[in-house]
């Protein structure tokens, strides 16, 4: 049995969180400076993230790319304050984000994300639909897609609606098609 390292004794900034390095004991996120751990996703969850990424890749405009399972600075507080970092299942981000991280360090920033996606797990239903929904809206991420793998597979596409946070489109099963933020078509049943 591997010992789980003790979290720092103070609230973390996003920079301190990023300096912890890769996490091989599970998935960690940062909520108001608190290190939050959760178990790794199931194989079905991971395959769904991979399959949606593979469907999106050839459809994206040249200035965008898809990245799975990466830490994101939500930029909700000044850099010297206890921060917020989430690890979405899939993001569509401006191509300039990875070279910036490579050159400067740190994390992908919410301001670089066009679409953030979460795949609902049995233990994340409320977090994905309520908590992360509010955080991503507060962070100004223009589009949030929530994928539910329960039969039938469905996708709820949300977009920022000003001071009201995210506004929902209809929940879609079968084929998800949209023209905003880019022309896209996702075969949802192929995510299983």
The pTM is what?
0.92
Please report whether residue 4 resides in a domain.
no
**Is 27 a member of any domain?**
no
Whether residue 36 is contained in a domain is answered as no
How many CB atoms sit inside 10 A of residue 105's CB? 10
Residues 6+ apart with CB under 8 A from 88: 69, 70, 72, 116, 117, 118, 132
Q: In CATH, what number is assigned to the domain containing residue 128? A: 3.90.1570.10
23 belongs to a structural domain? no
Specify if 67 maps to a domain: yes
2 belongs to a structural domain:
no
Give 96-149 pLDDT, tens digit per residue: 999 999 999 999 999 999 999 999 988 889 999 999 999 999 999 999 999 999
Mean pLDDT, rounded, for 15-37 = 85
For residue 27, the cross-strand partners are: 38
Give the number of domains in the chain: 1
Q: How confident is the model at residue 1 (pLDDT cuts 50, 70, 90)?
A: very low
Q: What is the pLDDT of residue 163?
A: 82
- Domain encompassing residue 83: 41-191
Q: Does a structural domain hold residue 99?
A: yes
Who has greater pLDDT, 88 or 38?
88
Does residue 160 have a cis bond before it (omega within 30 degrees)?
no
For tokens 């998935």, what's the residue? 27
| 33 within domain boundaries | no
């Amino acid at each position: 049995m591997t010992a789980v390292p003790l979290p720092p004794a103070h609230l973390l900034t996003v920079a301190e969180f990023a300096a912890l390095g890769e996490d091989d004991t599970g998935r960690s996120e940062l909520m108001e400076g608190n290190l939050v751990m959760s178990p790794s996703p199931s194989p079905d969850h991971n395959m769904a993230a991979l399959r949606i990424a593979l469907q999106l890749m050839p459809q994206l405009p040249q200035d965008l790319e898809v990245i799975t399972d990466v830490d994101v600075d939500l930029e909700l507080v000044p850099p010297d304050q206890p921060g917020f970092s989430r690890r979405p299942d899939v993001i569509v981000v401006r191509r300039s984000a990875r070279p910036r991280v490579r050159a400067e360090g740190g994390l992908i920033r919410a301001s670089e994300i066009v679409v953030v996606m979460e795949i609902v797990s049995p233990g994340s239903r409320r977090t994905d639909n309520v908590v992360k929904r509010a955080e991503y809206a507060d962070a100004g991420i223009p589009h949030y897609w929530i994928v539910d793998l329960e039969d039938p597979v469905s996708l709820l596409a949300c977009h920022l609606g000003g001071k009201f946070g995210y506004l929902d489109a209809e929940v879609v099963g079968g084929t998800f098609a949209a023209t905003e933020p880019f022309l896209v078509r996702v075969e949802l049943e192929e995510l299983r």
